[in-house]
């Protein structure tokens, strides 16, 4: 069952749910950015979102040893048994992998029944390969997202930005926070919040 959700706190609510209800979380690519020594970026605001962080086994999986992950591994062939992982986060990763369909099948395979998955994928977003580390292959429409996660028992999807804010975000004006807020306001006023012309999609899925 797929549900489209309109929420300003979708990311915060789902990540807190994962870290509250599950005892182990595998972060593929380190996209949460909640530990300075795991991954190539750190975001203290995100780290502060997770009050139960110290009580959860948190593991970063990445194919790049330079990022110092807990597990060096490939999302196309995850080094886990079937039905073994309570929760997985895969944020801003699928656009960089050669075969996102195979990758999502692997995520589904290794999640335990009732396991949680949080994913973010871009749609209208700029090219962002990282030289010598990873390339930038894919963008995902509404239809692609629904197809990728069709095997999960429950799927919630949230649109990231409306079309006006997406255009502003892609332009130099996107660096000005007030311009993004103004664009968001006009998306609401003009009824564009359910448009398919968006920056990307957040997905929370249960196996």
Does residue 114 lie within any of the structural domains? yes
Does residue 99 lie within any of the structural domains? yes
Does residue 172 lie within any of the structural domains? no
The 10 Å CB-count burial string (b at 16+, else e) for 7-39 is: eeebbeebbeebbeebeebbbbbbbbbbbeebb
Question: Could you read off the pLDDT tens digit of each residue along the chain, which spans 207 residues?
Answer: 888 887 778 988 999 899 999 999 999 988 776 665 655 566 666 666 666 666 788 899 999 888 888 999 999 999 999 999 999 999 999 999 999 999 999 999 999 999 999 999 999 999 999 888 889 999 999 999 999 999 999 999 999 999 998 999 998 988 888 888 998 888 888 988 889 999 999 999 999
Residue 25: give the domain boundaries.
2-162+199-206
Does residue 128 lie within any of the structural domains? yes
- The number of domains in the chain is 1
CA distance 201 to 196: 10
Does residue 185 lie within any of the structural domains? no
The CATH number of whichever domain residue 76 belongs to comes to: 3.40.50.150
């Amino acid at each position: 069952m797929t549900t489209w959700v309109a929420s300003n706190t979708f990311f915060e609510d789902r990540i807190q749910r994962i870290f509250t209800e599950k005892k182990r979380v595998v972060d593929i690519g380190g996209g949460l950015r909640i530990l300075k020594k795991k991954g190539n970026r750190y975001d203290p605001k995100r780290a502060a979102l997770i009050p139960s962080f110290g009580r959860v086994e948190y593991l970063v999986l990445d194919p790049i040893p330079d990022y110092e992950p807990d597990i060096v591994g490939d999302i196309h062939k995850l080094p886990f048994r079937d039905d073994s992982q309570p929760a997985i986060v895969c944020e801003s990763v699928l656009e960089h992998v050669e075969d996102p369909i195979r990758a999502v099948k692997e995520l589904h395979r290794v999640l335990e029944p009732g396991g949680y998955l949080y994913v973010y994928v871009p749609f209208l977003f700029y090219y962002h390969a990282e030289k010598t580390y990873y390339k930038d292959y894919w963008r995902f429409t509404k239809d692609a997202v629904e197809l990728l996660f069709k095997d999960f028992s429950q799927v919630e999807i949230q649109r990231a930005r409306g079309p006006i804010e997406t255009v502003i975000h892609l332009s130099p004006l996107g660096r000005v926070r007030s311009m993004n807020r103004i664009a968001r306001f006009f998306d609401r006023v003009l009824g564009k919040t359910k448009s398919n012309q968006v920056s990307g999609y957040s997905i929370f899925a249960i196996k």
